[in-house]
């Protein structure tokens, strides 16, 4: 009887320890790099190693960008005779386990892509019907992150498909961050909190500030087009479960002002920060945006509260706000117009009442010191009205310290 109790106790401890591995995988929005925005399927072993090296030497790893994720196109066109996925032998001659070891040796984590459908978006083998087999292979390869897309899914139920893959990853036994790239089509924010750690809220992003880009049978969204879709979703995000408005287009052809605005809004929205540029060739200006310490800290704030658009002023200026730890706030004044706009803002006139997070910004009862996130300069306090000019598509990004 005593031996049986000891065995049962050991079994319970083992089960609890295993379950604990899958808790708290993304306490703050994941940060890293993904190959798709710049390279699409033109990826290989040398690119991964060069990117890993640059994530370290540039300071991006130390700024928080720890996930290096290979998107579509890493696998061969056919599974092996046992049904397992096979890395493309021309692109990845040493295989994924060896490549993961190289990435890990740099203090980084390694991620891969697949799809809930029968084929990936680029026509490679999808996971439908192979969920447990693929999850086992990812665990054997020491993968840390899985981006799971939604192409070629006719007749498939999204919640069922993603839940099955989630269970398969847990069954495989290796903690893997699960990114649901379902495009928001089936409202994953309503059901995915216990399925994965982040879920896409829209279709793909593209490197333009406003509007959409037609891509034949589908379209990609500009930065502000995506931002406009997020207003009603913030109540669904929080620690270990994040709304994902897609990867960053910083450094991919927009203006410096637009890149700053893009990055500021993603930080205000507590979005995953997944760089999508060629970091081996990026400019100093792009690096400075991606690694701005104050901006990243706002995104990674311990409270995990997604910010929102508080108010629209005249001349296409919007005010975005985010509650922060220690009763601090982040506030961004965004100029969506095509001309420079002068802003005069009386902090005491407007009270921010965040009813979702039960936070109030009232400058009549509390005074805050202001720090300009991008210039690092002291910008005064909320005792006096804010006055200044904002260039076209640019942002005045402030940290309000209590």
Which are the catalytic amino acids?
Answer: 149, 204
- Assign 292 to helix, strand or coil: coil
Residue 101: how many other CB atoms lie within 10 Å = 14
What percentage of the chain's residues is helix, strand, coil (to nearest 5)? 30, 25, 45
Q: Quick one: which H or E segment has residue 48?
A: helix 45-57
- Nearest Cα neighbor of 399 from 63, 235, 375, 348 is 375
- CA dist 50 and 53 (Å) reads 5
Contacts of 395 (CB under 8 A, 6+ apart): 257, 260, 261, 264, 265, 332, 333, 334, 335, 374
- CA dist 117 and 127 (Å) reads 6
Give 245-260 as a DSSP string: -----TTSSS-HHHHH
Structure tokens at 144: 């840390």
- Nearest Cα neighbor of 169 from 161, 160, 178, 182 is 178
* N residues, the chain: 402
- Nearest Cα neighbor of 261 from 374, 397, 395 is 395
Contact 377, 371 (CB under 8 A): yes
- CA dist 361 and 218 (Å) reads 41
Query: Any bridge partners for residue 46, and if so which?
Result: none
Contact 255, 288 (CB under 8 A): no
Contacts of 367 (CB under 8 A, 6+ apart): 381, 382, 383
Phi/psi for 47 (5° steps) reads -65, -45
Helix axes 95-105, 45-57, angle to 10 degrees: 10
Rg of the chain over all Cα atoms, to the nearest angstrom = 22
């Amino acid at each position: 009887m005593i031996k049986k109790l000891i065995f049962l106790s050991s079994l319970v401890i083992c089960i609890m320890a295993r379950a604990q591995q899958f808790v708290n995988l993304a306490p703050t929005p994941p940060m890293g790099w993904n190959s798709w925005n710049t390279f699409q399927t033109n990826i290989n072993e040398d690119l991964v190693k060069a990117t890993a090296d640059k994530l370290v030497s540039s300071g991006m790893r130390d700024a928080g960008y720890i996930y290096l994720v290979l998107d579509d196109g890493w696998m061969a066109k056919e599974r092996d005779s046992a049904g397992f996925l096979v890395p493309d032998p021309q692109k990845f001659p040493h295989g994924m386990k060896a490549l993961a070891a190289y990435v890990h040796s740099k203090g980084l984590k390694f991620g891969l892509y697949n799809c809930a459908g029968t084929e990936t978006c680029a026509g490679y083998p999808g996971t439908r019907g192979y969920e447990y087999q693929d999850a086992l292979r990812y665990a054997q390869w020491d993968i840390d992150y899985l981006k799971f897309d939604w192409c070629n899914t006719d007749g498939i139920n999204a919640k069922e498909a993603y839940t099955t893959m989630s269970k398969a990853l847990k069954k495989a036994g290796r903690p893997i961050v699960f990114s649901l790239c379902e495009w928001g089509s089936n409202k994953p924010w309503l059901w995915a909190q216990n399925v994965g750690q982040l879920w896409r809220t829209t279709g793909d992003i593209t490197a333009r500030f406003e509007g959409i880009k037609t891509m034949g049978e589908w379209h990609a969204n500009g930065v502000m087009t995506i931002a406009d879709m997020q207003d009603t979703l913030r109540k669904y995000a929080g620690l270990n479960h994040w709304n994902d408005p897609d990867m960053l287009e910083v450094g991919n052809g927009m203006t410096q002002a637009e890149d700053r605005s893009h990055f500021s809004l993603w930080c205000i929205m507590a979005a995953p920060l997944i760089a999508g540029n060629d970091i081996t060739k990026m400019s100093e200006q792009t690096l400075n945006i991606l690694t701005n310490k104050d901006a990243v800290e706002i995104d990674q704030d311990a409270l995990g509260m997604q910010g929102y658009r508080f108010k629209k002023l005249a001349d296409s200026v919007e005010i975005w706000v985010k509650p922060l730890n220690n009763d601090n706030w982040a506030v961004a004044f965004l100029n969506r117009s095509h001309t420079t706009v002068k802003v005069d803002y009386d902090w005491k006139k407007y009270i921010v009442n965040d009813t979702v997070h039960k936070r109030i910004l009232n400058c009549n009862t509390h005074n805050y010191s202001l720090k300009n996130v991008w210039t690092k300069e002291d910008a005064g306090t909320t005792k006096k009205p804010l006055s200044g000019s904002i260039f076209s598509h640019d942002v005045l990004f402030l940290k309000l310290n209590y």
